Amino acid sequence: MPPVSHSFSRAPRASIIVPAYNAAATIAETLESLLAQTFTDFEIVVVDDGTPDRTLDVVALYDDPRIRVVRQANRGLAGARNGGLMAARGAYVGFCDADDLWEPGKLAAHVAHLDADPEVGISFSGSRFIDAASRPLGLAQSPKLKGITALDVLCRNPIGNGSAAVVRRATFDRIAWRPATDSRPWWFDERFRQSEDIECWARFVLSTDWKIEGVPGLLTRYRVNPGGLSANLEKQYESWERMIDRMAEIAPAFVARHAPAARAYQLRYLARRAVSQRDGRLALSLLARALNASHRPLLAEPAKTCSTVAAAALLSAFGRDGYALAERAILTARSRFA
């Protein structure tokens, strides 16, 4: 198909926001995957979030008129997405982090979904995990797609990652506000440096009644970076608790009732991360906290919960030697039940 030329006088139907910070190594592959979309009426808004590296030099190699760059002083991921939203002109807005990839049919699937059902505010899809070299890890997020409730969002975050959603601009604007400390509007809460996605989706579902709904298929390739520090898991948990506090301001009765189960799922998720970081002791302590919070994950997903416990116990007992075994256990369960 020949490239379609788009004049700037007419807004494209869709915008794809690509927040970029230290992404020189990965952003080319990301842009290639976006430019290869079968639905072509879109713009790409690359947000240079004050990146110190050569990301912009890489972007400049592409002379596709659909790519625009906006620059701002560093604000973090939430602030970069907000900067992108300010610049975006499409009625539908997607997000793709500068190290993730979209399958060619992804935008087309979401545009068709949002066109077909005007009640859908956020459209998402499942994701495949890839490693640093873009190789598939054999793992996937295949979440529940229909009938998504606030409880689903809080416990299981079906949207899954920051490169899975395409939103209807008009509905997304309903959750924007202008904080007294900033001259710009916020959709994502910039006080959060982690949990900014789930904060936004949870706030959306607890303060509007638009539908969050998925389309079939694993349409995002989400890059999982190995390693990481255990200390970050504790930090991640703290930011998740701040998110819950914020939701309790909006919907106190709902949160009081469901926070224990949501907390258990979150701690189990972090335990699985601890396993992949080979920290068995931390994984076990996170699992103990999870089960103290609620038995829901054990009852609702016994295999996944038990395999996580087994993997953590193996790691803890046998250290790194037990890791191969532990990981195999967790991988099997994950691909079956994730």
Note the maximum CA span of the chain.
64
Q: Closest separation between CB of residue 297 and other proteins, Å?
A: 20
Confirm or reject binding of residue 150 to other proteins (CB under 8 A). Answer: yes
| Residue of the chain from 39, 62, 254, 318 that contacts other proteins (CB under 8 A) | 254
Near other proteins in 79-108, by CB under 8 A:
none
| Of the candidate residues 149, 232, 292, 335, the single one contacting other proteins (CB under 8 A) | 149
- Contact track, other proteins, 114-133, x by CB under 8 A: -----x--------------
Nearest residue to 20 via CA among 64, 65, 53: 53
Contact 308, 326 (CB under 8 A): no
Given the rule CB under 8 A, which of 81-89, 221-229, 252-260, 266-274 is the region that contacts other proteins? 252-260
Candidates 246, 268, 273, 304: give the one binding other proteins (CB under 8 A): 246
In the window 172-211, what residues touch other proteins (CB under 8 A)? 177-181, 186, 189, 191, 205-209, 211
- 140 or 151: whose CB is closer to other proteins? 151
Token pair belonging to 101:
């990839």
**Cβ contact 83:182 at 8 Å:** no
Nearer to other proteins, 41 or 152 (CB): 152
Distance in angstroms (rounded) separating the CA atoms of residues 254 and 203: 13
| Single-letter code of the amino acid located at 41 | D
Amino acid identity of residue 37, one-letter, is Q
Q: Which stretch binds other proteins (CB under 8 A): 86-94, 243-251, 289-297, 324-332?
A: 243-251
**CA dist list (Å): 148 to 85, 243, 268:** 25, 19, 21
How deeply is 34 buried, as exposed, middle or buried, from its count of CB atoms within 10 A (0-12, 13-18, 19+)? buried
Sites of contact with other proteins (CB under 8 A) = 119, 149-151, 177-181, 186, 189, 191, 205-209, 211, 246, 249-254
